[in-house]
Structure 1
Amino acid sequence: MENQPKLNSSKEVIAFLAERFPHCFSAEGEARPLKIGIFQDLVDRVQGEMSLSKTQLRSALRLYTSSWRYLYGIKAGATRVDLDGNACGELDEQHVEHARKQLEEAKARVQAQRQQQQAKKREAGEGDEKSAPRRPRKPTPRKPVAEGEAPRKVRPKASRPAQDGSASESRQPRAIPVTDTAALQVGQSIKVKAGKSAMDATILEISKDGVRVQLASGLAMIVRAEHLQF
């Protein structure tokens, strides 16, 4: 149909599939394992709807099955489902093990990226201190005591109470800016910088145009990597 709207991203295709096949696909939360060969079932059922092509379906399916929330659903005892939610057998042990390894590798990449960023910050901080050494403060000379006068007692300075929120803020870990989208994964929790604050969000899609995220309020947007923080 000429007036039929088009779906431009894999995220939009997944949202359409979740609405079209609610017992099989989900737009959020833990995903159910899919039937082996479900791609051909999708081609037979929805190709042409919303102007969808095989390439779009394949890309959306690859994004869906590589997300963290889908990999979390690949566990022992889970049952595969077809487009209508009918059971299609339990998962093989090798598939469960493969999903577990994929999750571990993805988490390891994110952790390595964080450690690398922290190391660079520490090196930058040490370099600044070495280039500009602090001058030692000269002790303040005490006023001499007159003959026959008792020396004055020095009162200890009372410590000032920290302002509300200052202590808790100093203990909070620093946000690490994202420098490489290769360290990001679909389904990963992230923070989006908005002025001086940062909003919690979840990564929906990673593309050359930017990173598509969904805020806690449900709003979805595309942002550049420099506006993201771990």
Structure 2
Amino acid sequence: MTTEQPNTQESTAEKLTDVKAVIAYLAEKFPACFSLEGDAKPLKIGLFQELAERLEGDERVSKTQLRQALRRYTNSWRYLRCQKAGAQRVDLDGNEVGELEAEHVEHAQQALKESQDKAKAARAEKQGSKPAKRPEGRKPARAERPKTAKLKSKPETKRNQAPLQTVSSDKLKVDQNVMVQLGRSPAKGVIVDINREDVMVRLETGLTVKVKAEHIRI
């Protein structure tokens, strides 16, 4: 006949890593001492030592975590507000162990004021660092560029040139470079034929024109 062997493997508890989770765990284990909302009871002086002894061997929390959780809990605004004259300190089981001393009440109220002032200053600094919102539909003004006076380009000075002269037909010859006065400005050309007062000139554009000798300039 065989007998079943008991399962001796112990289940390992999940270790808490967040301070808030540790505080919630303490409120679950010691509800008469810790709370997560409403009024917070003043804790017994030296409660850490008592807490460490009660949770010795608890794999979910360490002494370092317990110390951090107590510091966070007793520095919270909810806890500091409840530190008033006549309030009673309690142990882990909720037993009253003595009335708050006046100096402890004063210290708690001063700590609360300093913490609130610090938080208020941080919010004001954060709001002040944000850029001011401009009215909707209005575009930011562009920096105007300095207007620079346009410099009028000076007309190029013509080189000193000898004025063109009219000539008679008897002084003209074929293949001679001449200027033909067709309009306001004379055009360059080459004489290709001469018939008395009529002169045939091939212009630079390739066009050949017949003009009177009086329109020829050299």
TM-score (norm 1): 0.52
Bigger shift: 48-57 or 21-30?
A: 48-57
Which of 83, 104, 109 pairs up with 2:113?
104
How far the C-alpha of 1:2 sits from its partner, in A, is 4.7
Q: In the superposition, relative to structure 1, how do residues 51 and 114 fare at CA in structure 2: closer, same or farther (>3 Å)?
A: closer
Query: Unaligned stretches of 5+ in structure 2?
Result: 1-9, 143-218
| 1:72 counterpart residue number | 81
Query: Unaligned stretches of 5+ in structure 1?
Result: 134-230
Q: Provide Cα deviations, 1:11-39, integer angstroms capped at 9, x if missing partner.
A: 11111111111110012222100000000
Q: How many residue pairs end up in the alignment?
A: 131
| Structure with larger Rg | 2
| 1:11 counterpart residue number | 20
Aligned mates of 1:115, 1:54 — CA distance in 2: 37
- Which one has the bigger helix percentage? 1
Aligned mates of 1:76, 1:6 — CA distance in 2: 38
How far the C-alpha of 1:130 sits from its partner, in A, is 11
Higher-RCO chain (CA-CA 8 Å, sequence separation at least 6): 1
How far the C-alpha of 1:110 sits from its partner, in A, is 1.7
| 1:37 counterpart residue number | 46
| 2:62 counterpart residue number | 53
Which of 20, 25, 31 pairs up with 1:22?
31
How far the C-alpha of 1:7 sits from its partner, in A, is 1.4
How high is the sequence identity, in percent, across the aligned residues? Answer: 54
Aligned mates of 2:57, 2:38 — CA distance in 1: 28
Q: Secondary structure at the match of 1:51?
A: coil
Q: Provide Cα deviations, 1:150-183, integer angstroms capped at 9, x if missing partner.
A: xxxxxxxxxxxxxxxxxxxxxxxxxxxxxxxxxx
How far the C-alpha of 1:101 sits from its partner, in A, is 0.9
How far the C-alpha of 1:122 sits from its partner, in A, is 6.4
Which of 131, 138, 141 pairs up with 1:132?
141
Amino acid at match of 2:91: D
Q: Secondary structure at the match of 2:98?
A: strand
Aligned mates of 2:139, 2:105 — CA distance in 1: 51
Structure 1's consecutive aligned runs of 4 or more residues displaced over 6 angstroms after TM superposition are: none
Aligned mates of 1:12, 1:120 — CA distance in 2: 34
Root-mean-square deviation (CA, aligned residues, Å) is 2.3
